[in-house]
A and B are shown apart, each in its own frame.
Chain A
Amino acid sequence: MKRILLLLTAVLMAATASAQEGAYSPDSGLPYWAPGRGEVDHEALRRRALVVLEREFGAFNDATGHLAQTAVAYCDAGAPREDLIAAFRDTWLAWAPLDSYHFGPVEANAAALTVNFWPDKKGFVGRALRELLAQPPEAQRDPATVAAGSAAAQGLPALEMLLYTEAPECPAVIGISAYLHQTAETLYADWFDPDGWADLARAAGPNNPVYLSAAEFTKTLYTALDFGLIRIADQRLGRPLGSYERSYPQRAEAWRSGLTVDIIGAQLDGIADMIEHGFAGDIREPDRAWVLQVIGQARSRMDKIGAPIADAVADPAHRIRVEGLQTKVNDIRSVMAQDIGPNLGVDTGFSPADGD
């Protein structure tokens, strides 16, 4: 114990020294603030976080644009089906990191539901899709038809059901993809156009309708990452896991396409991305390195499951690895709560996970 303390002291002293010697870079947030300084540069953090978010929302916008074009090429011009499947996969993985950020434009546009209506506890996607497929072909390919219908037929699970069941893919796949792209464009614009949510966050202050200080935006981001981890542990893993006596393979997200585990990986990567490039130097180096290391451990447990989640939960030999991943994701939450939140001086706020 004494040795650890000594080591820690050395690290702290080095940190203090480097903060004094090197010029602080607001872009990287480095060198990190000396511990005990008691201040976080929330404005610098916000600047970096918005770069991360703009990149991720931009990637989703690009992926949906490509998907919409590919759907038309597949249905109308006989383009290979593999192209459509690949574009569908890329779109879902581009959405995965954004699943954590259920606030601002995502909340205002209810995009968490329209893009990815999941979990679907009462078979809404199938029912909504049957209604869409009952429309004339010209209406099915029109995003306006999709917009006017149920949210359950507006996004990725509806596309998956079209692509991985006997349901006729064309032309509904065109209408849903086009609407999904419209949603992605709206999200990007509502975030990053002038007077969008990014500008609202930049204008944090006593008269701001949402963020009374820059620290409140930090709190929102921190809550969002915790929410993303809850989504992975309790829903993406917990729902199919059920109990040892009774697992629920078909409650796994995207079980038909087998994308379940890739989605979890992409969401974890998104969380790591925000910590590394958004929070960056405004959390202390050892804490940041540690949480990223624990996320890496979760990533490697995930890679070792060796079977699709839907199959793994029902098989005792594989199930234990899924449980191990779930434990590790909860470990990330604990590390965040113990090290990252106090570092930033924020605690989690309310999230959609607070309902039931």
Chain B
Amino acid sequence: MKHLLIPFTFAASFGTAAMAADLDAVIDNYADIAQAGYEDSLSRAQVLKTAVDALVAAPGDATLQAAKDAWLAARVPYQQTEAYRFGNPQVDAWEGKVNAWPLDEGLIDYVDPLAGGNDENPFATANVIANPQLALNGGTLDAGKITPDLLRELHELDGVEANVAAGYHAIEFLLWGQDLNGTGPGAGARPASDYDTANCTGGHCDRRADYLRAATDLLVSDLQDAVALWAEGGAARAEVSEDPEQGLVMALVGLGSLSFGEMAGDRMKLGLLLHDPEEEHDCFSDNTHNSHYYDGIGIRNVYTGRYERIDGSVVEGPSLQDVIAERDPALADNLMSDITDTVTALSAIKTTAEGGMAYDQMLDPGNHAGGALIQTAIDGLTAQTRNIERAIALLGPNGSGEGVEFK
């Protein structure tokens, strides 16, 4: 599905005016759900910012817990928007700012000396919080004042993807700290005193607080950009609306790429094979079960054209499912049933994690039941990808999906 630019494009090739109108409505609803999802993500990030300010103003167990809760709540709408990532180049280009992963967290702050190094990354233990000056390719990088601009500069420093200086996972690390429990129980256990300038643990508490606030501010402003991409006149909305047929294919490409290459592959299979909790998506907070689950829900939202917002209201309208059902009812049903199976499998992981067996414990090579739960979800994601491919072949211009440009 990674296409090179081919020097010709297909004109819209089928459909009456009435059908074209229906497709427009499907695309409008697709974009409306995106806009609502990013608005919800933004409003939860603003709540997180308030909680972070409270933590920094009065560090303590209660304010730290409140900030963690706000972070967990912020993930719920955001993960559902991941269904928009891979099919929409505007989103894909933006996404690394907020959800880059995995990270060499030693770039940001102190880490356990045995659990932070990376031969491929000279900055894996650079520890910006402790070091106002960083040596960089013979020169120095001034990190004296920690600002959103500095974090942008540090992001993917030296071309290394694992140098994640900002986004949800950087904030997660600053709130929870490293999870040093391996595949045993327990998440990261950063003490609130890491932010207490009067009784500072971990060193440089003032700079750590600056870092946390800068990262949260940056998240808020990046999410404002995402909302703008999908608002009326936004670039991402314009791109899917321009040719609704191509928009449909872009939507399906987003679902398939997230299902297969990203979730089933990078995020789930790899951790299972390495038995390495470093490879779980929300590794500091042990929130991986929710991240995977809400990705699955996000896929279902896009397919069924229905999104339940954080305030309980619902955005809904004509859907991809409706378009597919018009042309191949059996395929529409099969894909719905695949997506339902996957959500069920992801839900089983979530329930089990909430019952006390965290996702990283499921990666223990001796935990066959946990491994099987993850494998079932991987199998479901792989199976739905096949029917998503068929839907693309069905809906693409000339019914072949040919000539679609993305990536």
Q: Using a CB–CB distance below 8 Å, which chain A residues touch chain B?
A: 107, 110, 113-114, 120-124, 126, 128, 148-152, 210, 212, 219, 226, 230, 242-243, 246, 248, 250-251, 330, 333-334, 337-338, 341-342, 345, 347-356
Contacts and interface: CB of A to CB of B under 8 A. Distances in A.
Interface string B276-318: 1010000000000000000000000000000000000000000
Given A113-B273, A122-B104, A330 B4 contact: yes
Nearest to B117: A123
Nearest to B274: A150
A248 B160 CA distance: 10
Contacts of A123: 117-120
A230 B2 contact: yes
Contact of A151 (B102, B137, B158, B273): B273
B162 interface: yes
Contacts of B278: 122
B356 interface: no
Interface string B154-177: 000011011000000000000000
Given A246-B159, A251-B120, A350-B1, A355 B262 contact: yes
Given A212-B390, A350-B257, A352-B265, A248 B6 contact: no
Contact of A243 (B159, B259, B386, B388): B159
B256 interface: yes
B333 interface: no
Interface in B355-402: 365, 382, 385-386, 388-390, 392-393, 396, 400-402
Interface of B: 1-4, 6, 86, 102, 104, 117-120, 137, 158-159, 161-162, 256-257, 259-262, 265-266, 269-270, 273-276, 278, 365, 382, 385-386, 388-390, 392-393, 396, 400-402
B266 A356 contact: yes
Contacts of B390: 212
A355 B273 contact: no
Given A107-B382, A348-B2, A353 B276 contact: no
A1 B1 CA distance: 34
Contacts of B1: 348-351, 354
Contacts of A334: 4, 6
A126 B262 contact: no
17 contacts: A121-B161, A123-B117, A150-B275, A151-B274, A219-B389, A250-B120, A333-B4, A334-B4, A337-B4, A342-B402, A350-B256, A350-B259, A351-B1, A351-B2, A352-B261, A354-B260, A356-B262
A113 B270 contact: yes
Contact of B120 (A121, A151, A338, A354): A121
A349 B404 CA distance: 12
A243 B160 CA distance: 12
Contacts of A219: 389
Contacts of A351: 1-2, 260-261
A180 B3 CA distance: 34
A150 B276 contact: yes
Given A110-B273, A246-B159, 11 more contacts: A110-B269, A122-B278, A124-B276, A150-B273, A150-B275, A150-B276, A151-B274, A248-B159, A348-B2, A350-B261, A353-B2
Contacts of A148: 365
A242 B400 contact: no
B119 to A, nearest CB: 5
A356 B257 CA distance: 9
A242 B159 contact: yes
A251 B162 CA distance: 14
B135 to A, nearest CB: 15
Nearest to B262: A355
A354 B400 contact: no
A354 B262 contact: yes
B266 A114 contact: no
A107 B386 CA distance: 14
